[in-house]
Amino acid sequence: MSHYPLSILGLALMLPGCFGKRSASGRNFQDPVFNLEESQGHDSVSDFSGDVSGEGRSRPLQGASSSLRAYEDHPLVRQWINYFAHDHHESFAVYLRRGSRYRLTIEAILRQHAIPEFLYYLAMIESGFSVSARSNAQAVGVWQFIEGTGKRYDLMINNYVDERRDPIRATIAAAKYLKDLHNVFQSWFLAMAAYNCGEYRVLNAIMTYDERDFWSLSDQKALPPETRNYLPKILAAAIIDKDPEKYGFDYHEPKHSPHLKLTRVPTPIRVKTLAETFKLSDEKIRFYNPQLLGNSTPPQGEHYQIWLPAQVVHAIDESSLASLSRETTDEDESTNPVPEQYRVRKGDNLQKIAAKFSIPIATLKANNHLRNKAIYPNQLLKLSSKTAETVDGKRYRVKRGDSLASLAKRFGLSIPALKKFNGIKNNSLVVGQELKVPLPES
């Protein structure tokens, strides 16, 4: 998914008569496969500061079956049905199985935002429902947001937390973004195309070809090849999932996950402390909160909201919650220290190594003076060093848990002085970043 940082309202103003007109081909660009009245059930997610839940159907999207059938024989759709059912059968089976875990929650969020439940399959094609999926363009999570678009839709992304990896928060952001795109293009098909290649590319195609029908734009090659195949992929996935046994797949009943509740905790606070307080394992805290990148919640602000099973939150006594307080997390890595060096193995890449040791790619590149992401087998990479944890009187290497406030206090400086001395224009630090520390006046 790639997007241009354009105002959605600005796009609407640039597109003449975008509200309610027919396409040049004479076809109304209300996409026939979608019926919002069919897709909106009686159940919904009423408040995401409360429980996250959704009641499913035995076979989701039954109401869309007849509309989907109209696309089964489209050449590109048929091509992708064969691709998923035969060439990549095992991979697609994984997508179907993973999706059963998230389907009820995702569809409930889509319904709440008046988005067709069909767009559940957009996430399937984007990521295969892997919360840790990362593209070459650095798009992340189930909905494959790039950083700029994620932040535009209120997802927190920094060295400590990446809410693109949170399937609930990211689905809410995706629903808002898709609704904005639909408001501009008045077509769910074109909204999905814009989600894939960017708002500007679709706008440019419409204005160049004077056409607002996805299939017509596709036939004229007005859209990039990936985008021309994007909607057929999504339709193929939906058609297979409508009748998986027909294509040799097992049917996976949507799973009712625990009702999760957003719970406010002081920040930063260690995952280990949260696990002890709520009587869960560290692994469970991370499972419910895949957005946490390190061993603690982010240091920004006084509080952070994490997902926990509602029954766990209700069972905890208020005194335990009240006893939680912000923690210093500098020594948190000591229970699972990162080795100083790592020898590259066949099949490794920087992304995989960074994820394995919870080190930002930027830090790996800085530690090893890499200009790009190219590495080779048997190469010795520097992961951490003793000098990264000590001050030599002149320089200090930032480590996990550091902030401008904590370092300024440590070195007896004001925050503005520390920022000015290092040419820092914002309040962000990167793990591995080297700071100059002025020597005290004698």
The number of beta carbons lying within 10 Å of the beta carbon of residue 80 is: 24
Q: What pLDDT sits at residue 427?
A: 76
Same fold, 8-247 and 339-384: no
- Give the integer Cα–Cα distance in Å for 281 and 308: 12
DSSP state of 264: E
- Give the integer Cα–Cα distance in Å for 203 and 10: 11
Q: What pLDDT sits at residue 5?
A: 46
Per-domain residue ranges of the chain: 8-247, 260-326, 339-384, 386-442
- Give the integer Cα–Cα distance in Å for 304 and 301: 8
- Residue 334 to residues 277, 295, 297, 339: CA-CA distances in angstroms? 21, 11, 17, 11
Strands 341-343 and 51-52: unpaired
The shares of helix, strand and coil residues in the chain, as percent rounded to the nearest 5, are 50, 10, 45
Rounded to a whole number of angstroms, the CA Rg of the chain reads 24
Give the distance between the most distant pair of CA atoms in the chain. 82
Contact 418, 404 (CB under 8 A): yes
Residue for token digits 């499913």? Answer: 56
Contact 374, 393 (CB under 8 A): no
The class that CATH gives domain 339-384 is: alpha beta
Q: Six-digit token pair at 149?
A: 């678009």
The alpha helices in 186-270, defined as continuous H runs, are 188-197, 199-209, 214-219, 225-242
Contact 266, 301 (CB under 8 A): no
Q: What pLDDT sits at residue 59?
A: 38
HSE-CB of 407 using CA atoms within 13 angstroms: 30
- Give the integer Cα–Cα distance in Å for 25 and 42: 37
DSSP state of 161: B
Task: Give me the amino acid identity at 270.
Answer: R
Contact 286, 307 (CB under 8 A): no
- Residue 353 to residues 216, 219, 335, 339: CA-CA distances in angstroms? 44, 42, 19, 12
Which has the closest alpha carbon to 3: 198, 173, 254? 198
Question: What is the DSSP annotation of 348-368?
Answer: --HHHHHHHHT--HHHHHHHT
- The one-digit pLDDT tens for each residue of the chain (442 residues) are 655 445 555 555 555 555 433 333 333 333 433 322 223 332 222 233 333 333 333 334 444 555 788 888 899 999 999 999 999 999 999 999 999 989 999 999 999 999 999 999 999 999 999 998 988 888 999 999 999 999 999 999 988 899 999 999 999 999 999 999 999 999 999 999 999 999 999 999 999 999 999 999 999 999 999 999 999 999 999 999 999 999 999 888 887 777 889 999 988 888 999 999 899 999 999 999 999 988 889 888 888 999 999 888 888 777 777 777 777 654 344 344 556 778 888 888 888 888 777 777 777 887 788 888 888 887 888 886 443 333 444 677 777 778 888 887 777 778 887 887 777 877 778 766 778 776 554 3
HSE-CB of 52 using CA atoms within 13 angstroms: 26
- Give the integer Cα–Cα distance in Å for 91 and 223: 27
- Residue 83 to residues 87, 187, 262, 408: CA-CA distances in angstroms? 5, 27, 40, 57
Is it true that domain 8-247 has CATH number 1.10.530.10?
yes
Which residues sit opposite 303 in a β-bridge?
266
The class that CATH gives domain 386-442 is: alpha beta
Contact 140, 151 (CB under 8 A): no
Q: What pLDDT sits at residue 14?
A: 57
